[in-house]
A and B are shown apart, each in its own frame.
Chain A
Amino acid sequence: MKDTYDAIVVGAGPAGCAAAYTLAAGGVSVALLERGSKPGSKNMFGGTIYRIPTEEIIPGFWQKAPLERAVISDQLWIMEQDSAVNIGFTGLKYSIPPYNKFTAIRTDFDSWFAQQAVKVGARLYTKALVKELLYEKKLLGKGPINGVKMDTGDKLYANCVILCEGVNAFLTKQAGLRSKIPPHAMTLYCKEVLELPGHIIEERFNLEKGLGAIMGMVGYPTAGAVGKGGIWTNKNSLSLMVGGYLDQLAQKKLSPYILLQRLKQHPLVRKLIQGAKVIEYQAHMIPKGGYHFIPNLYSDGLLVAGDAAVMISGRRGTDLAMLSGKYAAEAVIAAKAKEDFSAETLRSYQVKLNNTFFMKDIKSSRNVLDYYKDHPDSDFLMSKFINDAAYHYFTTGMQSEKKVLDNITKELTILQLPLKSIKDIYAGLKYWGVF
């Protein structure tokens, strides 16, 4: 077995596969290490693969990759116990090639993605858990990183390691690049996969054959914490998910599993999933940390990408993981050309990231976390008010329109909304991030 490579990529998720694919295609010898029995078997996500960013790695991927449904419809339900205000968009342009985004099953998609890297020359190791980074020996202190040690004691050597190890980032912490991320900067989601025949899914979600829909849900699903529920359509199953900020779940004594069971009982959700059989239960965290918690992204012989690097912006994570993995790989290709894997050379990765659209987004929303920390009731109150107002508005009764609107205004003033001053209204509009 060959045990020396130009580069080692830890983790065969979207970031790792993109990095390994880019490296191998660029003529760099690379080992891609996955701790699960196959790529994707430890992974969970919010349902969608976005076409345009993914094509930055593999153009035309959607013609070959295992995808579930092309998504044409995005809905947001602002929910209360017995009502929901719906906001949504259905675009039929998205039902024809080249499409916009797709639902996917992680084990299928990640395995396929890893195989694309293998096809261009990457070596994939599965059941391969890295326990330690190896450093070159120096007379004083540690030298640059030159490999990894597995849980079996086996060692692999390389000039450079790219950590795409996901949200928990044990190795990134071990390398001293990431500090502790507090619970208010993490969200926790759990999800059930519910088996249901494709034609029934299409009937219930008003879809043509093969097309898909996604629904986000705020308010009711998280029982007072800031977070979200969601349901989306796979070929022959639905994914139903719920979760929120870890600190709020803990403070409000909420169990994510019980929130999920509670959401399944909601009259509007119950109808969608009726008769479906649970075939899997998953949970995963998202490092919502944002700009303040992005770790150091490079050091001598080491780069960090994807969730480990907190590359999350709003609903986007999988695509940013891929893009950051690609950019990390490009930095390594340049470093190989110079035969210099020092931090100084690898710094080009950071420079590249700083100029991306998503880093600008991450930077501009850096105060969102503080907003939610200070306004833990914002989702609950907004959702309650919007539904109460809708009940007033849509109930056809015996009042003048002016009276109806007066009642809604009265309601608004009674509720302890987080909007008490002009400043609060501004902050609410800016940070209440359900859209």
Chain B
Amino acid sequence: MDMIKEIRAPLEFNQHKVDRQSHIAIKDAGLCKKKCTLKPCTYICPSQVYTWQNHSLRIDYARCVECGACHAFCQENILLNYPRGGFGVEWRY
């Protein structure tokens, strides 16, 4: 788990054009707290957008690489859109 804290990727290596507005939202924050024991979004997300801090889910949408895994796993509660046109991650390779 220590390794998770050390994750600097992807922001260090990637170009991200971060929008002012978030493209990710949680439908019912109470559900994360009460019903979700494993909280897979906190480890399944390849760029660690989601962290559990002070009994609530923190979403750092700027880190998102737009894979959609969070939404594919938690279709009920994670509302994912793509960032606006031209925003978000810009891969070069």
Contacts and interface: CB of A to CB of B under 8 A. Distances in A.
Interface of A: 35-37, 40-44, 105-107, 126-129, 150-152, 167-168, 170, 180-181, 183, 186, 188, 190, 192-193, 234, 237, 239, 246-247, 249-250, 253-258, 261, 278-285
A279 B93 contact: yes
Contacts of A42: 66, 88-91
Contacts of B3: 258, 261
Given A167-B68, A192-B13, A279-B13, 15 more contacts: A40-B91, A42-B89, A152-B85, A188-B67, A239-B93, A246-B44, A247-B73, A249-B44, A250-B44, A250-B73, A253-B38, A255-B46, A261-B3, A278-B13, A282-B14
B40 A283 contact: no
Nearest to B81: A170
Nearest to B80: A168
Contact of B47 (A186, A193, A250, A281): A281
Contacts of B91: 40-44, 106-107, 280, 282
Nearest to A260: B46
B90 A37 contact: yes
A126 B86 contact: yes
Contact of B69 (A37, A126, A246, A253): A246
Contacts of B14: 280-282
Contact of A283 (B47, B81, B88): B47
Given A43-B91, A257-B7, A285 B86 contact: no
Interface of B: 3-4, 7, 9-10, 13-14, 17, 38, 40, 43-44, 46-48, 65-69, 71-73, 75, 80-86, 88-93
Contacts of A253: 38, 40, 43
A128 B92 contact: no
25 contacts: A41-B89, A42-B90, A44-B91, A105-B93, A107-B91, A107-B92, A127-B85, A128-B85, A129-B85, A170-B81, A186-B72, A188-B69, A192-B13, A246-B44, A249-B44, A253-B40, A255-B44, A255-B46, A256-B44, A257-B9, A258-B3, A258-B4, A282-B14, A283-B67, A285-B72
B93 A283 contact: no
Nearest to A237: B93
Contacts of B4: 255, 258
Contacts, number: 126
A101 B12 CA distance: 32
A254 B44 CA distance: 7
Contact of A181 (B44, B72, B80, B88): B72
A183 B85 contact: no
A255 B3 CA distance: 10
A170 B13 CA distance: 28
A170 B80 CA distance: 9
Contacts of B66: 42
A290 to B, nearest CB: 16
A239 B80 CA distance: 28
Given A107-B91, A257-B46, A280 B13 contact: yes
A283 B92 contact: no
A158 B89 CA distance: 29
A151 B69 contact: no
